[in-house]
A = this chain, B = another copy of it.
Amino acid sequence: MEKAIEVINTGNELLDGRILNTNGQWIARMCASKGLVVRRITIVGDRLDDIASALKEALSRRPALIVITGGLGPTPDDLTARAVAEALDRPLELNDKALEMVRDFFRHLGQGITPAREKMAWLPVGSRPLENPVGAAPGFLIQHGGTIIVALPGVPEEMKAMFKKHVEPILDELAGGLNRYEARFLIYGLRESDLAPALEEVARANPGVYIKTHPRSEEGRFYLELFVASVASSASEAREKMSKAIMALWEYVSSLGGSMMPYTPE
């Protein structure tokens, strides 16, 4: 059974092109490395209705996990807790543990609490606050039906530290010992449309193996990047499934007059 994951990244700075959504890619990579599937990434701005509706739509698809980033800070346009409360139809409450986390953060700076700082501790009823080892704003975790919702800050260093601490154990549990293997190749001398029928045949003959080509060009020379991945419940099974598909692809490419070589990015 597929354990689907959805990601919601919030922030106007992602919608006017000021900032590249590296958070979305990083989370997707973390999930894929465990053999888990991110089914959808949604970016919405700092609008209460947009965040709430994106969350409601994601919940309607019943994923195992929804990760939301951004909107947890002290400014009035930080709206994630309110949007989650609205989507789940639960009130916000001042969470004692979260308030203690915020208080601790500013105590270390020799400072006290203010209304803007207290705002970061107002969470939907039923939330578990998640400690932020880097910044002031706690994250939170809340369950709804069969879905775990985790809200993390948008600042990448804070998001990554909290993801590793609080979300990675959830991923490990969802993955339940799945293994993923992947490999890349470069193919010269063939166009994507030359190879399409062969790809279709190899994909059909090798269920559980994912195959995709990307056309590339460099200094006017065209080539294809080929990506192959497999997921299975044991490492040896995943590797064996993939090898079989790669050998079949290799034979096709050669018979069509192309060449194929392993490739490691960067």
Asked if A155 is an interface residue, CB under 8 A from chain B, the answer is yes
Give complex CA distance A43, B23 in Å. 13
Given contacts A17-B30, A199-B75, A227-B13, contact A42 B45 (CB under 8 A): no
Q: 8 Å CB contacts to B: which residues of A21-46?
A: 21-22, 24-33, 37-46
User: Digit string of A190-206 for contact with B (CB within 8 Å is 1, else 0)?
Assistant: 01111111011001000
Q: Please state if A74 and B21 are interface contacts (CB–CB under 8 Å).
A: no
List residues of chain A with CB under 8 Å of any chain B CB: 12-22, 24-33, 37-46, 50, 54, 57, 73-77, 114-117, 119-120, 135-136, 155, 157, 191-197, 199-200, 203, 210, 212-215, 217, 227, 229
Residues in B neighbouring A32, C-beta threshold 8 A: 15-18
CB distance from A155 to the nearest CB of B (A): 6
For residue A12, which residues in chain B have a CB less than 8 angstroms away from its CB?
210, 212
Q: B39–A15 contact, CB under 8 A? A: yes
In the complex, A204 Cα to B33 Cα: how many Å? 45
A73 & B192 in contact (Cβ 8 Å cutoff): yes
Sample of 13 A–B contacts (CB below 8 Å): A16-B28, A16-B29, A18-B32, A21-B21, A41-B43, A57-B57, A75-B192, A76-B199, A114-B193, A115-B197, A117-B193, A135-B215, A155-B215
Contact residues in B for A77 (Cβ distance below 8 Å): 212
* Smallest Cβ-Cβ distance to A74: which chain B residue: B193
